[in-house]
């Protein structure tokens, strides 16, 4: 597991991340929140506890990759990593 990473950090290396991993956010109200990547388990109910901290299900890495590439393709400019992270967060919270 990688620690002290947020969505912007993840996006910088998303092509080398296992697509089967799931993104869990520590603070669901903040797109810059720390996150962890973990494999799905039957009994996690969308919550992972790591070092006493709870992390909440956002979305699967493969969906994140798909969404990001589709969204960027639909734009006529290149968004910043921060814009992409924010849009991905909104997608994970609202749509996925």
* Domain annotation covers residue 75: yes
- pLDDT tens across the length of the chain (96 residues): 555 799 999 999 999 999 999 999 999 999 999 999 999 888 878 999 999 999 999 999 999 999 999 999 999 999 999 999 999 999 999 986
How many independent structural domains does the chain possess?
1
* Domain annotation covers residue 24: yes
Range of the domain at 76: 7-94
* Domain annotation covers residue 35: yes
2 Cβ partners below 8 Å, 6+ apart? 36, 37
How far from the centroid of its chain's Cα atoms is residue 56's Cα? Answer: 10
* Domain annotation covers residue 28: yes
CA 94 to CA 75: how far, in whole Å? 20
CA 18 to CA 35: how far, in whole Å? 15
Q: Is the CA virtual torsion 52, 53, 58, 61 positive or negative?
A: negative
Please choose, from the candidates 7, 34, 9, 37, the residue with its C-alpha nearest in 3D space to the C-alpha of residue 21: 37
* Domain annotation covers residue 72: yes
């Amino acid at each position: 597991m990688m620690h002290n990473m947020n969505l912007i950090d993840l996006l910088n290396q998303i092509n080398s991340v296992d697509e089967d991993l799931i993104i869990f956010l520590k603070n669901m109200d903040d797109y810059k929140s720390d996150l962890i990547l973990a494999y799905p388990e039957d009994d996690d109910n969308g919550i992972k506890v790591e070092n006493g901290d709870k992390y909440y299900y956002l979305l699967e890495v493969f969906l994140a990759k798909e969404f990001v590439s589709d969204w960027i393709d639909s734009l006529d400019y290149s968004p910043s990593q921060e814009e992409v992270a924010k849009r991905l967060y909104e997608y994970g919270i609202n749509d996925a």
